[in-house]
Amino acid sequence: MLAYTEQAKPTVELLKEFLAGNPTYAGEKLIFSGVGHRDVYNISAPFLDRGERVIAGRVEDRDKESSEVMFFVERQGKWVPRNGAPVFALQDPFFTFIGEELVFGGVEVYFDGDDPHYVTSWRTVFYRGYSIDDLVPFAKGPLTMKDIRLIQRDNGRIGVFTRPMMVDGARALIGYTEIDSLDGLTEEAINEAHMLRQQFLPDEWGGANEAHLLKGGLIGVLGHIAWMEEFNIRHYYPMVFAFNPEDYRYTPIKLIATRAMFPDGPAKRADLQDVIFSGGIVRHEDGTASLYTGVSDAEAHAIRIPDPFLEYES
């Protein structure tokens, strides 16, 4: 019998619970080339496109916020841009499959016309197609909303996780709604999502990064939870929880990795050193899973961990 959450816990308490298990697994940096001196981070998990493993990654100069999303394939241990693949002026790519269609998305960022470093707003945008070569735009989320993610349920309906900001005094909350088809992915439908109000404290925040259909009809959510200390120092942790779309109940958040489990490396800024941004997870038959992450807004890493969704399927 699953335990469902009744009250949000502080991230520091979740961290203590995770570290009490003495996790010993270690991550590794993924090597990207063919992008000059730019960084590649906030990657997706690998997925198959025309029979080839592909990773989507955020490509960006260390001192800038404007970025591109490119598609990479592995060649002799390095990830290189796929020849002829489209390039999008987006951040933080993600994907899912709805039916036989690939649904790809990212964050579209708007800058001040007089100051190219000043971000004025952003939104999640969506593309669809049968491969990355024929993706076409089909939907946009509301302004200032990141972390909108889709999943197709066994009954054919499409679950939609949302992430509105500044809801009833909270910095951000995760929401959930359902649509009948991709044509129903509208701003109105997204704004009508039911809020999961007991996940984050009012001064903390998080979001869904990827959704997995689990045995028994539950949805396993890979996400992130974050808090900010004095001088705007950010702390981001990969987390998971299980969501029941029949009654909108959800299990307590569980952390699955920390920055210390990955190799030392640079950060985009000093306040981003302790940032792990969940990109995606690949489950394996041996009870483990590979987590793909952005690290410190400067690098992309992967780590093999115990499959965090297994306990929700027992």
The one-letter amino acid code at 125 reads V
- Per-residue pLDDT of the chain in tens (314 residues, 90 and over written 9): 688 888 899 999 999 999 999 999 999 999 999 999 999 999 999 999 999 999 999 999 999 888 999 999 999 999 999 999 999 999 999 999 999 999 999 999 998 777 777 788 999 999 999 999 999 999 999 999 999 999 999 999 999 999 999 887 888 899 999 999 999 999 999 999 999 988 999 999 999 999 999 999 999 999 999 999 988 899 999 999 999 999 999 999 999 999 999 999 999 999 999 999 999 999 999 999 999 999 999 999 999 999 999 999 97
Q: Which tokens sit at 214?
A: 């689990």
pTM (2 d.p.)? 0.95
β-partners of residue 179 are 158
Phi then psi for residue 72, to 5 deg, are -120, 150
Dist CA 53 CA 43 (whole Å): 13
Name which of 227, 233, 222 is nearest 278 in CA terms: 222
Dist CA 175 CA 232 (whole Å): 26
Phi then psi for residue 138, to 5 deg, are -145, -15
Q: What is the pLDDT at residue 135?
A: 98
Dist CA 300 CA 24 (whole Å): 20
Q: What is the pLDDT at residue 119?
A: 82
In the chain, the domains with their CATH numbers are 11-312 (2.115.10.20)
- What is the number of alpha carbons within 13 Å of residue 86 lying toward its C-beta? 15
Q: What is the pLDDT at residue 90?
A: 97
- Residue 74 to residues 5, 30, 71, 85, 272, Cα–Cα distance (Å): 40, 10, 10, 14, 28
Q: What is the pLDDT at residue 1?
A: 67
- Is residue 173 a contact partner of residue 200, using CB atoms and an 8 Å limit? yes
